[in-house]
Chain A
Amino acid sequence: GDSVTQMEGPVTLSEEAFLTINCTYTATGYPSLFWYVQYPGEGLQLLLKATKADDKGSNKGFEATYRKETTSFHLEKGSVQVSDSAVYFCALLNTGFQKLVFGTGTRLLVSP
């Protein structure tokens, strides 16, 4: 079945550091890929998405490129802020299915 693998956390960075959170997937066909962010005590917010190979999703300084050849969708940000501290979930949605398949989540901690 479909699956998503994320790097283990927590990821601890200083403010203004470069961020990469790795995400790889296993799926048949051509799934859509998503990054969701969950701030403490809140629900999930869509951060960005990509629906086909080589698409780049971007939002609030975060970017991720759908790489079919490496089955990856790594999340990057050039300069993190303390307010970016949250849990980040990578997820996929395959054609004909309504079930999001989530990775385990990666906690990001940014210190001043």
Chain B
Amino acid sequence: DTEVTQTPKHLVMGMTNKKSLKCEQHMGHRAMYWYKQKAKKPPELMFVYSYEKLSINESVPSRFSPECPNSSLLNLHLHALQPEDSALYLCASSQAIGDGQETQYFGPGTRLLVL
């Protein structure tokens, strides 16, 4: 099974709202990722967690706050977003071996609209 699940599928929020995106995997992977994808563009890496510790932050604004409560779950907390943050947010997971052969498996994404 190579399934990564994400909730919600769609989210509309105002600029003053606080919301969270959730991601879950049960493949035993110890690396989890958040990507942002704008229309007609490739995904852009935001954060990487390895063994529940934040290992990469691609200079993401602090209005995005990731959290990895355990090895199966990854959250992205959203606060005071801007309309330009509207995008498809993708979660992925992989083994965390570091040999460059890990395959990242993606979830279906959360489509976020900020009004």
Residues of chain A touching chain B, judged by Cβ–Cβ distance below 8 Å, are 29-32, 34, 36, 42-46, 49, 51, 89, 93-100, 102-105
Contacts and interface: CB of A to CB of B under 8 A. Distances in A.
Contacts of B66: none
6 contacts: A49-B103, A93-B104, A96-B98, A98-B96, A98-B98, A105-B41
B99 interface: yes
Nearest to B50: A98
A105 B100 contact: no
Interface size class of B (residues with CB under 8 A): 20 to 34
B85 to A, nearest CB: 18
A45 B6 CA distance: 14
A15 to B, nearest CB: 25
Interface of B: 2, 6, 31, 33, 40-43, 45, 48, 50, 55-56, 88, 90, 92, 94, 96, 98-109
Given A44-B43, A100-B45, A103-B42, A93 B109 contact: no
B99 A44 contact: no
A105 B88 CA distance: 16
Which of B90, B94, B100, B103 gathers the greatest number of chain A CB atoms within 10 Å?
A: B100
Contact of A102 (B42, B48, B100, B109): B42
B101 A98 contact: no
B4 to A, nearest CB: 8
